Amino acid sequence: MRKPLAGAVFTLATLAVGCHSVPALIHRLKRENPRVRVRAAEKLRDLGSKAEPAVPALIGALGDEVRLVRCFAYDALAEMGRPAMPGLVEALKNESPVIVKWAAFALCDIEPDNELAVPALVSLLGRSDARARESAADTLGVLGSRAKDATSALVAALADQNAAVRVAAARDLRSICGETCDVLPVLARALDEEDDIRRKAALAVAAIARKHEAAVTVLVDALNNENWDVRLVAALALGTMGHGNKEAIPALIELARTAETRYARNAAARALEKIEGRRPSDPAGPSD
């Protein structure tokens, strides 16, 4: 006969194992409480290949509104490896662009040379939902040279009616094709779009400017952009390049004097320091 204390310990241990069993975790992955979902996804990740019965639920969790749930679900599928691949391949047809995006990432994580992810993302570029098209372009860019078969689709996306999609396509073409893709005109035009798109375009131009002289001219012009965030990105980029950007000096001096935030003023001052090879007399607003 089991002693009372030993019986209690046995019961608690059984309950602990039960609440972390795959069926229980699948159930918890669908609970309303986001903390419960996060914990369930984390536990399924820790189970590795033992969590194979949870593949459909984990794929559904790739579209969860909570990013941490999505991250743990992604980790769980990637850690599981090949047993998760049939479900991930099927997920590439999902109506949710978020699920397609994360499923494509997971497939390429499990099998870097996977031939199914890129076509699925290219098909997303043809959807009517602009967010789906932008998501597809962003993902293709992260895949880099593995997404070379998407080049023609991304070139077509440079003419997309949505500016965010155009910027994403331009940025990604640069990462996929390198110097062979001249996307600077598209990015330069995007600096006149709405604020969030301007910032993305400015960051993309800044990345190009290290190897593309024409991009420096775009950055110098961006120092006079009406959006202070764009001016800040341009100042930071020019500052990292240092000597050889003398044409940026007048605009940087003006930015260091008049920018809306001290951070932006100091960024302009630091850019001046590197370009001129000296420290301005007043970091927040250099004198003539």
Q: Is the pLDDT of residue 199 over 90?
A: no
Tokens representing 277?
């090879």
Going by C-alpha positions, the residue among 141, 135, 71 that lies closest to residue 106 is 71
In a domain? residue 47? no
Residues 247-253 have a mean pLDDT of 76
Number of domains in the chain: 1
Tokens representing 188?
């330069």
Predicted pLDDT of residue 24: 93
Going by C-alpha positions, the residue among 96, 42, 51, 48 that lies closest to residue 73 is 42
Q: Is the pLDDT of residue 280 over 60?
A: no
Q: Is the pLDDT of residue 283 over 50?
A: no
In a domain? residue 227? yes
In a domain? residue 208? yes
As a whole number of angstroms, the distance between CA 139 and CA 154 comes to: 12
Read off the DSSP letter of residue 144: G
As a whole number of angstroms, the distance between CA 243 and CA 57 comes to: 55
Q: Is the pLDDT of residue 15 over 70?
A: no
Cα Rg, the chain, nearest whole Å? 25
CA angle 49, 116, 101 (to 5 degrees): 75
pLDDT in tens, 19-33: 468 999 999 999 999
Average pLDDT over the chain, rounded to whole? 77
The range of the structural domain enclosing residue 221 comes to 192-288
pLDDT in tens, 82-130: 889 889 888 888 888 888 888 888 888 887 766 778 888 888 888 888 8
As a whole number of angstroms, the distance between CA 277 and CA 149 comes to: 45
Residues 6 or more apart in contact with residue 90 via CB below 8 angstroms: 59
The residue written with tokens 């996804």 in the block is 41
Q: Is the pLDDT of residue 161 over 90?
A: no
How does DSSP assign 24-93, residue by residue?
A: HHHHHTT-S-HHHHHHHHHHHHHHGGGGGGGHHHHHHHTT-SSHHHHHHHHHHHHHH-GGGHHHHHHHTT
Higher pLDDT, 64 or 238: 64
As a whole number of angstroms, the distance between CA 140 and CA 131 comes to: 14
In a domain? residue 220? yes
Instruction: State pTM to two decimals.
Output: 0.57
Predicted pLDDT of residue 209: 65
Please check whether residue 27 is in contact with residue 19, taking contact to mean a CB–CB distance below 8 angstroms.
no
pLDDT band at 169 (very low <50, low <70, confident <90, very high): confident
In a domain? residue 101? no
As a whole number of angstroms, the distance between CA 48 and CA 12 comes to: 24
Rama region for 44: left / alpha / beta (φ>0; ψ in -120 to 50; rest):
alpha
Please check whether residue 275 is in contact with residue 247, taking contact to mean a CB–CB distance below 8 angstroms.
no
> 222: domain CATH number?
1.25.10.10
Coil, helix or strand for 260? coil
In a domain? residue 258? yes
Coil, helix or strand for 4? helix
pLDDT in tens, 49-62: 899 999 999 999 99
In a domain? residue 207? yes
In a domain? residue 85? no
Predicted pLDDT of residue 170: 80
